[in-house]
Amino acid sequence: MKTSDLIGKKVIDKNAFEVGKVNDFDLDTEKWQIEGIYVSSGILGSDSRVSIEDIVKVGDFVILKIEMKEEK
């Protein structure tokens, strides 16, 4: 998968709620591996970082093994 394919994918948390879309990622430039993603949610597009360890699967959606809570 190309990194450009990752940007814009919908993100689903462990409760099957759509929590936002991938808008950026952390890249380890020594290993050339993605270490985490940033999920944009809400009208204002607040970003939350999700570690790569918290991602179960990447396919049509990015599925997380954690619950994303809404920030107030």
Read off the pLDDT of residues 8-66 as tens digits, 9 standing for 90 and up: 999 999 999 999 999 999 999 999 988 999 999 876 667 899 999 999 999 999 999 99
pLDDT score at 29: 93
What superfamily would CATH give domain 3-64? PRC-barrel domain (2.30.30.240)
pLDDT of residue 47: 87
pLDDT in the model for residue 72: 40
CB 38 within 8 Å of CB 49: yes
- Domain segments of the chain as ranges: 3-64
Core vs surface per residue 34-63: b (16+ CB within 10 A) or e: eebbbbbbeeeeeebebeeeebeebeeebb
Kind plus residue range of the DSSP H or E element containing 6: helix 3-6
* Per-residue confidence (pLDDT) for residue 3, from 0 to 100: 78
Q: Is the pLDDT of residue 71 over 60?
A: no
Provide the whole-model pTM.
0.84
